[in-house]
Amino acid sequence: MHNHSMVLVATGSLCLTITLVLAWCLAGVRSSTFMKRLFPNYQSLLKAHMDYLLMTGLLMIFYLLFAQLHVTASPVILAAMSLGSLGNPIGFLALAVRPNLRQGPTSPFGAAITVSFTLTTVGYAGAAWAVGRAALLAL
């Protein structure tokens, strides 16, 4: 395994840090008029928090799987996993701040989310394939 897969740990650590900040924002929305104005859509803020938490776990788990199974993941897969993990929850965060944001596929927001979802899908599908293949070969 090459050290370039450490990008997953670094990205996971960033996602966890963002998760912790969002947890404080969630608490703030419950008690502060300013925070309620900043994040008018509580449900989307909660979704962003949960999505970053999920991405943290997935990134760390795949790093450990790569290490355990001695898988060298493609830099393309690592980049897609990292960028997608950071980008997907941003959609929920944007909707927490601007609930009326135009979400159609032809809108700038919709296009950005489509790119992020595609990166995430390519990254995690590639990682799952590499880990699954390595596990089968180890049988």
Give the pLDDT confidence of 75-110 residue by residue, as tens digits: 999 999 999 999 999 999 999 999 999 988 889 999
The structure tokens listed for 53 are: 């938490």
Check residue 107 and report its DSSP letter. Answer: S
pLDDT in tens, 17-62: 999 999 999 999 999 999 999 999 999 999 999 999 999 999 999 9
Question: What are the helix and strand counts (H, E) for the chain?
Answer: 5, 0
Q: What is the CATH number of the domain that holds 91?
A: 1.20.120
Quote the number of domains for the chain.
Answer: 1
* pLDDT for 93: 97
Structural domain of residue 132, as residue ranges? 3-138
Please state, as a whole number, how many other Cβ atoms lie within 10 Å of the Cβ of residue 8. Answer: 26
* Amino acid at site 88: N
Residues 43, 75: Cα–Cα separation, whole Å = 34
Residue 105's pLDDT is 84
Per-residue pLDDT at 63 exceeds 60: yes
